[in-house]
Amino acid sequence: MNKYDAIVIGLGPAGMAIAGMAPLMGLKVLAIESHKVGGECLNYGCIPSKAMLKIGEVAYSTKKLDFFGLKSTSEITSSAPMDNVRTKTPKINNQMAEKMFPGVDLIIDKGLASFVDSHTVEVDGEKYEGKTIFIATGTEPFIPPIPGIQDVPILTNQNVFALEEVPESLTIIGGGAIGSELAQAFSRLGSKVTVVQKNSFLVPIGDEEAGHVLEDQFKKEGIKVFNDTQIEKVEQKNNKIYTHTTNGVLESDKLLVATGRQPVLEPLNLEKAGIDFDKRGIIVDEYNKTSQPHIFALGDCNGKSLLSHAAMHQSMLSLMSMFTPEPAESLKRSNHLVPWAVFTKPEIAQVGMTEREVKEKGTDYIVVKEDYANYTRAASEGHTTGFVKVITDLRGTIYGVTICGEAGSELIHEWVLAMQNRLTMFNIVMMQHTFPTLSLLNKRVAEQWMMTMMQNGAMEEMMKQIK
């Protein structure tokens, strides 16, 4: 039997990070991928969706068409955008994977891995033994039990990018990140798009005001949004799909389901390895260890943070834990903030708690906000939609930040660094920001906090922070 220091099951973001780092630490590594290297993110999610959003933005603004091989808006046919998504999306084949992971034994597209016991996995009839095993099998689309949904052709992120043409009309169930991004992308490429969801605002895990700002933009672009709406049934008649809702019947050529994710645990045979799990995923501790301490579950399959960057970060922490004799506080997953972003226009980015969450905790707080429209650089470039909002207090503690607007996904990282290192609003005020970058919006909102301190007679408290 082939023996390894580490076996990696799944080569999405989490598994790729392990396969890339572990050999550099002197480990003999086997990596197993049942389908495509890159996993959901590279092949069916983060990357193709961003390519499609960019093509939609170009079509919407009629600029930079030559990048996509299009000379004028008249050349944007119903098939051209989808062809370009497939062309521009990076693809990793077996030969490329070998170059990416030198020194790693690879088993790609030869079947699913399953446990024989807690140290042994089997693929395509062959058994492999690992001293340490990393499970990184990700998630797949969750299809809700809507009457009739099994009888109609549905789209998910796994097959939507394989469409030959942009549909004339599209109904999207779900207003989260995937639903919102694809709604705007398809709308800008010519689809008549309707979003229907049970939640009261778009991107419901985030800030309500940001969700409403995005919805206002959707309405300007002709995207219909039905919030607080239940789906009663779906059916197909005469090549049309009819979505029956509590707000009426929606007719469309295609139906996209974007209602969340579920872990991919079959056919791992986790019971044979003595690994505990539930419907949310594989149960792990703060160090991403399963009920078997030599087996880690990383990324989406443990249900903690369904984000590619979180998966890669968990991989780094777990590898470091392998070489740490005693548990290290700094390697605990919960000690590291997880920001997220939705790449619509305007973008929505978040770190820490929303105002709703702070309020529910009963924490005393204040809200300081700076609008994009008030900053000359943003206004001069037409980026007047959105805001930087910080949930803080009179001491300058930063509880959470929402950025809704141009480059929000980039601007959020200053706040991640500040919060993770327990810096305050005063530290942001005192940091010089290059003018006229958009990052100056972060400083301007911190200055709003300082003005609030003065108005509340708390200047003396603020001055205590000067050392």
Q: Break the chain into its structural domains and give their ranges.
A: 2-38+92-140+262-335, 149-259, 346-463
The mean per-residue pLDDT over the stretch 181-195 comes to 96
Which CATH number is 2-38+92-140+262-335 given?
3.50.50.60
pLDDT value at residue 321: 92
Residue 88 confidence (pLDDT): 66
Residue 184 has pLDDT above 60, yes or no: yes
What pLDDT band is residue 423 in, cutting at 50, 70 and 90?
very high
Residue 245 has pLDDT above 60, yes or no: yes
With beta carbons less than 8 A apart as the criterion, state whether 296 and 135 touch.
yes
Residue 67 pLDDT > 70, yes or no? no
As a whole-number percent, the residues of the chain with pLDDT over 70 amount to: 92
Amino acid 5 reads: D
Taking CB atoms within 8 Å and a gap of at least 24, the contacts of 376-379 are 376/436, 377/436, 377/437, 377/438, 377/440, 378/405, 378/406, 378/438, 378/441
> Which of these ranges, 102-116, 333-347, 450-464, has the smallest mean pLDDT?
450-464
pTM for the structure as a whole: 0.91
pLDDT at 68 over 70: no
Contacts of 128 (CB under 8 A, 6+ apart): 1, 2, 3, 4, 7, 30, 120, 121, 122
- The arithmetic mean of pLDDT across residues 119-127, rounded, is 96
pLDDT of residue 465: 66
| pLDDT band with cut points at 50, 70 and 90 for residue 275 | very high
Report in angstroms the alpha-carbon separations of 137 from 158, 226, 266: 15, 34, 9
CA distance 452 to 71: 51
Structure tokens at 238: 């005469």
Specify the fold of 346-463. Enolase-like; domain 1 (3.30.390)
Residue 5, Cβ density class (10 Å: 0-12 exposed, 13-18 middle, ≥19 buried): middle
How buried is 422 (Cβ within 10 angstroms: 0-12 exposed, 13-18 middle, 19+ buried)?
exposed
**At a CB cut-off of 8 Å and minimum separation 6, what does 264 contact?**
137, 138, 139, 140, 301
Does 2-38+92-140+262-335 match 149-259 in CATH topology?
Answer: yes
How far is residue 429's CA from residue 155's CA, in Å, rounded to a whole number? 47
Q: Is 464 exposed, middle or buried (0-12, 13-18, 19+ CB in 10 A)?
A: exposed
Is residue 232 within a helix (H) or strand (E), and if so which, with residue range?
A: strand 231-237
Query: Phi/psi at 14 (nearest 5 deg)?
Result: -65, -50
Q: Which of the pair, 99 or 358, is modelled with greater confidence?
A: 358
Determine the pLDDT at residue 93: 67
Q: What are the pLDDT digits (tens) for 381-408?
A: 999 999 999 999 989 999 999 999 999 9
| Displacement of CA 208 from its chain's centroid (Å) | 18
Banded pLDDT at 149 (limits 50, 70, 90): very high
Residue 86: pLDDT over 90: no
Over the stretch 451-466, which tens digit does the pLDDT of each residue have? 888 887 766 666 666 6
Residue 464 vs residues 47, 111, 373, 446, 458: alpha-carbon distances, Å: 46, 62, 33, 17, 10
- Work out the mean pLDDT of the chain and round it to a whole number: 91
Average pLDDT of the residues in 234-258: 97
Instruction: Give me the percent of the chain exceeding a pLDDT of 90.
Output: 78
Mean pLDDT of 146-169: 95
Question: What's the whole-number mean pLDDT along residues 323-338?
Answer: 92
**pLDDT-based confidence at 72, cuts 50/70/90?**
very low
In 3D space, the residue among 367, 400, 373, 398 whose CA is nearest the CA of residue 387 turns out to be 373
Check whether 371 has a pLDDT greater than 60.
Answer: yes
CATH number belonging to domain 149-259: 3.50.50.60
Q: Give the CA angle between residues 175, 159, 94 to the nearest 5°.
A: 125
| 462/263: higher pLDDT | 263
pLDDT at 55: 82
* Mean pLDDT calculated for residue range 235-252: 97
